[in-house]
Amino acid sequence: MRTLLKLLFASLLAVATLLPMAGAVQAAERYKPFVLAWRGTGDFQEKVEEVKQNLEDAGFTIVAVFDPYDENAHVDDARVIVFTSEALKKVAAKSEMGGFAAPQRAAVTRIGDDLQVAYFNPLYMAYAYRLKSDLSNTAAALEKALGKIETFGSRKGLTARKLRKYHYTFGMEYFDDPYELAEYGSHKEALAAVEKHLDNNDLGVKKVYRIDIPGTEQSVFGITRRIPEGGDKHADDQWIMGVVDFEELKVTPYLPYEIMVDGKDVVALHMRFRMAVSRPDLKMMGKNSFMNLMPSPEAIRKLLTRAVGGEP
């Protein structure tokens, strides 16, 4: 009997010891890719100007403001504001391929009378892009400047641990599996080639901005993809967003796509990573699923390769 009681007591003690650990695991914070900053009615252009001013007042530098869509889009109006800061550039310089995090993205989107202001979640990006900072200062500054009603883009969200090693499923790319678009003889030569080809091509790929990361050989280019008639629509920004941006809260700050000159190499995040980590709840099959985008990753690889002077 005593032996049985000892065994029972030992079992209860083991369970009690494990409970705090289980609670800690359950309490792991989860993050979602987008932040809804404001929602209401009003004048679209006035709201765009307000967002720009608030970002500048918060110490950010506006590097681009552009319309990602034409009149046939799934929304009535959209304007993307790309911004950065010296602090963001310093963080970017400390991580491999960290330059992709230097440009942050906000957007104003109108659907009928509904105006939405949203931005990509810096906390989410920090973990997904494996930065050596959690960008909590940036997140706090954006919340103060633009607001924060809720985060969205994933029903449950992802933990920091999951984000740091994120890939959608078996066989799909990680953060450090980028498109390798071109290689040149030097960093200077690579920059010159990218500038030249982005400024002069008939592919529908145009430069939106360029950010150089001090102390590194990383330069990030934001680009738009408006594929002309006869081209492959599966690489077109508007066509792709028409597939994936189907929920009530719009994910306009997914755009623009980035190309990076990293040393003498020209790379871009693989669509199967960039889209998947930004829209982690997309189903594999069915309407508004990755199945609808099946041709897009290869179409984008070929398009971007040609757009920077590489050989597809």
CA distance 78 to 107: 7
What per-residue confidence (pLDDT) applies to 286?
A: 84
CA dihedral sign of residues 84, 63, 255, 249: positive
In a domain? residue 261: yes
In a domain? residue 16: no
In a domain? residue 9: no
CA distance 142 to 140: 5
In a domain? residue 158: yes
Which pLDDT band holds residue 18 (cuts at 50, 70, 90)? Answer: very low
The yes-or-no verdict on residue 259 having pLDDT over 90 is yes
The CATH number covering residue 300 comes to: 3.30.310.70
The yes-or-no verdict on residue 15 having pLDDT over 50 is no
Read off the pLDDT of residues 202-236 as tens digits, 9 standing for 90 and up.
999 999 999 999 999 999 999 999 999 999 999 99
Tokens 């990680």 belong to residue: 174
* Mean pLDDT score, 122-147: 98
Q: How far is CA 4 from CA 16, 49, 209, in A?
A: 18, 74, 73
In a domain? residue 120: yes
In a domain? residue 25: no
Domains held by the chain: number: 1
Enclosing H/E stretch for 160: helix 160-164
pTM of the model: 0.90
In a domain? residue 18: no
What per-residue confidence (pLDDT) applies to 27?
A: 58
Domain span at residue 107 reads: 30-307
Which pLDDT band holds residue 121 (cuts at 50, 70, 90)? Answer: very high
Read off the pLDDT of residues 68-85 as tens digits, 9 standing for 90 and up.
999 999 999 999 999 999
In a domain? residue 3: no
